[in-house]
Amino acid sequence: MIYCGIDWAEKTHDVALVDDTGQLLAKRHITDDAAGYKLLLDLLAEYGDSDEEPIPIAIETSRGLLVAVLRTGKRQVFAINPMAAARYRDRHAVSRKKSDPGDALVLANILRTDMHAHRPLPKDSDLARAIAVLARAQQDATWNRQQMANQLRSLLREYYPAALAAVAPWQNGLCRPEARELLKLAPTPARAARLTRAQITAALKRAGRKRGIEAETERLREVLREDWAHQPALVEDALGKQMLALLGQLEAACTAVDDLAAAVEDAFPQDPDADVLLSFPGLGLQLAARVLAEIGDDRARFADARGLKAYASSSPVTRASGKKSSITRRLVKNDRLNHAGYLWAFSAPNGSPGARAHYRRRRDEHGDWHAAALRNLFNRMIGQLYHCLQQNKLFDEHMAFPAPPELAVSAA
């Protein structure tokens, strides 16, 4: 058996091959381009790499062109956490000296000695990986949009409280197109107080508003013309220019969110697992795509539902030392899946009587706080999702949340 370790870098990579005894068979220094990738594949083929007997490879990243090239065929690629690799390094050198060829050798020896303790990259389909790219990008864009909105809100509090009062009744506040059009039209409170009804109405129509324009125009005009505290005129104009710069960034972030959301809506329904995911209460198209992006469509990725629950940090972990033991939530987890799970559990009770009853039971009978009750509900529902995906079945409310025995007897 041959094992390969690759110390990844931005421009060049170091490669090491070892056999079962730990003897170094070959080492190479390759470039990060097509020529370097070909040299690596030729080296692997020279030592027996084939579809029938692929050489497993350890590398400290799971992304990039090099990993994409290595994942072709049936070859197993193991993404080793750099912190774990650093711990293994101490087994080979007590001096704590670090070198790129030495790290490649360490990675190869990790597979030689402990390959059973590490998981290879999942064999997701190309469609699932494409959906993962889009869903994660849309999630990042959403977080970035909120960050920009928070910066803009903080700036407006310094000189333009009328704008915050004007957008307060609107859902999503400053992220709405009406708010952005209004701020572009009047970047300072002095200019906002001089706006006419026709100007406000035109801004609302440009933002796409169709109904209640007259009433909203009157409300905005009254708010903007109220008596507010002001900065000095020169300072106010300078802050207005700063606000317009932030507004441009927020506009770009909102556009990115909408464009990526549309791309997700086009790609996600094509996946064979889409119907199963969308059958669950609380999972809309965007949130279901985020869940699929993190769990993938490789059915062999998780040995059982417990593995998926641990990956999502929905199940508790028991720590014991001597006579002491404690049950706590997991801190090492897939943060994106955990975040999606919180939103899923928050929305599920609205569409599922069983989920709502489960949440209330955790709050009332077990004394869980809100977050703990949602985490317990997510733990149950992601286990149900694992079963449905394995069996290719849609969500069934009665099977997922059967009636308690006493209620079943009384109904009979």
Which amino acid is residue 169, in one-letter code?
P
pLDDT band at 96 (very low <50, low <70, confident <90, very high): low
Angle at the Cα of 150 (from 148 to 153), degrees rounded to 5? 110
pLDDT band at 95 (very low <50, low <70, confident <90, very high): low
- pLDDT of 13 strictly over 80: yes
Which amino acid is residue 180, in one-letter code?
R
Select the more confidently predicted residue: 12 or 404: 12
HEC profile for 305-320?
A: HHHHHHHHCCCCEEEE
DSSP symbol at 10: S
- pLDDT of 409 strictly over 60: no
pLDDT band at 73 (very low <50, low <70, confident <90, very high): confident
Q: By mean pLDDT, which of 90-94, 122-126, 400-404 is the weakest?
A: 90-94
Q: Tell me how far apart the alpha carbons of residues 262 and 278 are, in angstroms, rounded to a whole number.
A: 17
Residue 97: other Cβ atoms inside 10 A:
8
Select from 84, 89, 105 the least CA-distant residue to 24.
Answer: 105
Q: Tell me how far apart the alpha carbons of residues 32 and 6 are, in angstroms, rounded to a whole number.
A: 12
| DSSP codes of every residue in 308-360 | HHHHHT-S-EEEEETTEEEEE--SSS-HHHHHHHHHHHHHHHHH-HHHHHHHH
Q: Tell me how far apart the alpha carbons of residues 322 and 325 are, in angstroms, rounded to a whole number.
A: 8
Ordered alpha helix ranges (H), 168-232: 177-185, 189-193, 197-206, 213-224
Select from 142, 143, 130 the least CA-distant residue to 292.
Answer: 130
Select from 71, 86, 51, 60 the least CA-distant residue to 121.
Answer: 71
Q: Tell me how far apart the alpha carbons of residues 283 and 292 are, in angstroms, rounded to a whole number.
A: 11
Report long-range pairs for 333-337 (Cβ below 8 Å, ≥24 apart): 334/294, 336/136, 336/139, 336/290, 336/293, 336/294, 337/290, 337/291, 337/294, 337/295, 337/311, 337/312
Q: Tell me how far apart the alpha carbons of residues 34 and 14 are, in angstroms, rounded to a whole number.
A: 15
Select from 285, 266, 302 the least CA-distant residue to 389.
Answer: 302
Segment 74-84 shows an average pLDDT of 91
**pLDDT value, residue 99:** 84
Task: Give the strand pairing for 24-31 and 12-18.
Answer: antiparallel
- pLDDT of 405 strictly over 70: no
User: Which phi and psi angles does 21 have, rounded to 5°?
Assistant: -90, -5
Segment 353-365 shows an average pLDDT of 94
Q: What is the pTM of this model?
A: 0.87
Q: Tell me how far apart the alpha carbons of residues 232 and 230 are, in angstroms, rounded to a whole number.
A: 7
pLDDT band at 327 (very low <50, low <70, confident <90, very high): confident
Select the more confidently predicted residue: 235 or 93: 235
Segment 307-322 shows an average pLDDT of 86
| DSSP codes of every residue in 387-408 | HHHHHT----HHHHSPPPHHHH
pLDDT tens-digit profile of 115-165?
998 989 999 999 999 999 999 999 999 999 999 999 999 999 999 999 999
Task: Give the strand pairing for 3-7 and 57-59.
Answer: parallel
Q: Say which CATH architecture domain 3-117 belongs to.
A: 2-Layer Sandwich (3.30)
- pLDDT of 411 strictly over 70: no
- pLDDT of 352 strictly over 70: yes
**87 neighbors 6 (Cβ within 8 angstroms):** no
Both tokens assigned to 298: 């490789």
Both tokens assigned to 63: 């992304």
Average pLDDT, the chain: 91
- Can you tell me whether residue 169 is helix, strand or coil? coil
